[in-house]
Amino acid sequence: MGEGDNKVSVKSCCDPLTFSIRVFGCQMNVYDGDRLRGAMNSLGWSEMENALDADVAIFVTCSIRDKAEQKVISELGRFRPQWERYGRPSVALVGCMAQRVGESVARRFPWVKVVAGPRRLGAVPASIAASAEDGRTRIILDEDRHGTEDLHEMPVSRGRPHKAYVTIANGCDQFCSYCIVPYVRGGFSSREPEDILNVINGLVSAGAVEVTLLGQNVNSYGRDFCGVNGAYRFAGLLSDAASVSGLKRLRFTTSHPIDFGQDILDVMSSDDAGNICPSINLPVQSGSDKVLREMNRKYTRDEYLDVVGRIRTALPNVGLTTDLIVGFPGETEDEFLDSLSLIESVRFDLVHSAAFSPREGTPAAARTDQVPREERARRLAVINDVQFGISKEINKSLEGTTCGVMLDDPAPRVEGLLQGRTVTDKVVLVRAPSEMTGEIRSVRITGSTAWCLEGELI
């Protein structure tokens, strides 16, 4: 929230209504937050930085980990003194956590006046306005796993004008045994291609030079289409999106190994527009066939390695990252070592590793053979240690090369440095004036750590 003090401005009845917005979790939530911001502005509401100065604080929430939900609960608790004294701000709880536990949260914190699941985003602005008018609580949850009441709002007001995110599909039907997403975000449904391409065109016209296509499993885009778009898949969308005039960089996340077909690689390797970034996050989750089966990932270690081989053949300079869970219920030491050996043999640029964290309501959480917390932590430390060495070696090998870097923001903690990204999604720190933010510049790499590169403008 950023409220260091307890000062609250006193509103007159003629002041415009105000909102604040806070996003927890993934980029899909950032995208939803940007669209909600635009929709609230269109209704004539003004945005406040400090939630305690607003009439309504909007929380776009995440349920992936218990920690993300606990953070929201603790933020909600901090509203009590202001609510009891001034009757504001009320809260609109939106997204995955709202879908999962929003009703009980609203009972516990009476200032939560709107609860809306992630597929009911389109109903949120009007519900906030109605609740501000009559003070009543509105609970709008996703009851239809495949239905969507979307928000048709262009996310033009964004934190970084040069970078934009576009959700291309909602929900997931994979039901990995540890994951809460299919329960809170509902079934997989693709947005219409025309809709997505219109949004990308609009974003580029509004100044975006990089767009990232988002979904829980972007590679299965179009699987649910029939009729006129029946044969239109992710490869087609990628190719069409890359053709949007003025778009300099196109990325996508997240991928799933079972849907990463050769057609996608063909589009990426031919890349006529020259703007599809050779950067892929391909979650493996485990290197053990038994654990993969119990995770319901639907591929084997060899099948995963086959996809990696095809990717590296098609895109020799690809930036490849993965997600990995250690300490899944029943994971033996040998099965953990299978994950370790996979990490060592693939040599990813980066591994997003996590110790298994049970999510209530998933099959994995109900298992009785949980790996003790300390052992999960030990395995995580081992993986991180090995990957640290690999990332360091890969980054060291890039010293002396030149690359295009999109300069994104001031680097944290160091005056005069901007941080940016290469097409392979490596972070680069460069001494450059802040006016260059949003530009793509040629940079010579002069130094490196396991986490980032350092460079100088050419």
Q: Is 279 among the residues that bind ligand SF4 (CB under 6 A)?
A: no
- Smallest gap from residue 359 Cβ to ligand SF4 (A): 10
Span from 168-176, 203-211, 329-337, 420-428 in contact with ligand SF4 (CB under 6 A): 168-176
Does 175 bind ligand SF4 (CB under 6 A)? Our answer is yes
Binding segment toward ligand SF4, per CB under 6 A, in 178-186, 366-374, 385-393, 396-404 = 178-186
Q: How far apart are CA 151 and CA 147, in angstroms?
A: 13
Nearer to ligand SF4, 25 or 420 (CB): 25
Integer-rounded Cα radius of gyration of the chain:
23
Neighbours of 181 (CB within 10 A): 21
Distance CA 161, CA 437 (A): 10
Question: Is 402 within 8 Å of 440 (Cβ atoms)?
Answer: no
**Six token digits for residue 10:** 């006193």
Q: Hey, what are 38's tokens?
A: 């635009």
| Window of 171-179, 201-209, 225-233, 381-389 that interacts with ligand SF4 by CB under 6 A | 171-179
Round to whole Å and give the CA distance between 392 and 371: 30
User: Which of 199, 325 has the CB closer to ligand SF4?
Assistant: 325
For the bound state, the minimum distance from the C-beta of residue 184 to ligand SF4, rounded and expressed in Å, comes to 10
Under rule CB under 6 A, residue 359 binds ligand SF4: no
Phi, psi of 173 (to 5 degrees): -110, 15
Kind and range of the H or E run holding 60: strand 56-61
User: From the CB of 301, what's the least distance to ligand SF4, in Å?
Assistant: 17
CB of 146 to ligand SF4, least distance (A): 15
Binding segment (CB under 6 A) for ligand SF4, from list 162-170, 176-184, 240-248, 368-376: 176-184
Q: Is 447 in a helix, a strand, or coil?
A: strand
Smallest distance, ligand SF4 to C-beta of residue 375, A: 23
| 176 contributes a contact to ligand SF4 by CB under 6 A | yes
Nearest Cα residue to 299 out of 316, 307, 405, 445? 307
Nearest distance, CB of residue 38 and ligand SF4, angstroms: 26
Cis omega (within 30 of 0) for bond into 433? no
Binds ligand SF4 by CB under 6 A, chosen from 40, 72, 181, 407? 181
364 lies in the site for ligand SF4, by CB under 6 A: no
Per CB under 6 A, which region of 85-93, 167-175, 203-211, 226-234 contacts ligand SF4?
167-175
Nearest residue (CB) to ligand SF4, 33 versus 171:
171
256 touching ligand SF4, by CB under 6 A: yes
Phi, psi of 409 (to 5 degrees): -150, 170
The phi and psi torsions of 203 (rounded to 5 degrees) equal: -65, -40
**Site map for ligand SF4, 203-232, x if CB under 6 A?**
-------------xx---------------
Cα gap 252→164, rounded to integer Å:
11
Residue 190 within binding range of ligand SF4, rule CB under 6 A: no
Of 76 and 172, which has the nearer Cβ to ligand SF4? Answer: 172
292 is an interface residue for ligand SF4 by CB under 6 A? no
Q: CA–CA separation, 265 vs 276, rounded Å?
A: 11
User: Contacting ligand SF4 (CB under 6 A), which of 20, 174, 275, 321?
Assistant: 174
Say how far apart CA 88 and CA 111 lie, in whole Å: 8
| Binder among 128, 179, 423, 453 for ligand SF4 (CB under 6 A) | 179
β-pairing verdict for 350-355 and 56-61: unpaired
Residue 145: other Cβ atoms inside 10 A: 15
Residue 323 CB, shortest distance to ligand SF4, in Å, is 8
In whole angstroms, the minimum distance from the beta carbon of 254 to ligand SF4 comes to 7
Beta bridge partners of 322: 351
| Least Å from the CB of residue 433 to ligand SF4 | 40
Q: Which is nearer to ligand SF4, 145 or 392 (CB)?
A: 145
Binding residues for ligand SF4, how many (CB under 6 A)?
A: 10
Q: Which of 313, 303, 395 is nearest to 348 (CA)?
A: 395
Six token digits for residue 47: 């945005």
Compute the distance between CA of residue 322 and CA of residue 257 in angstroms, rounded to an integer: 11
Residues forming contacts to ligand SF4 in the complex (CB under 6 A) are 172, 174-176, 179, 181-182, 216-217, 256
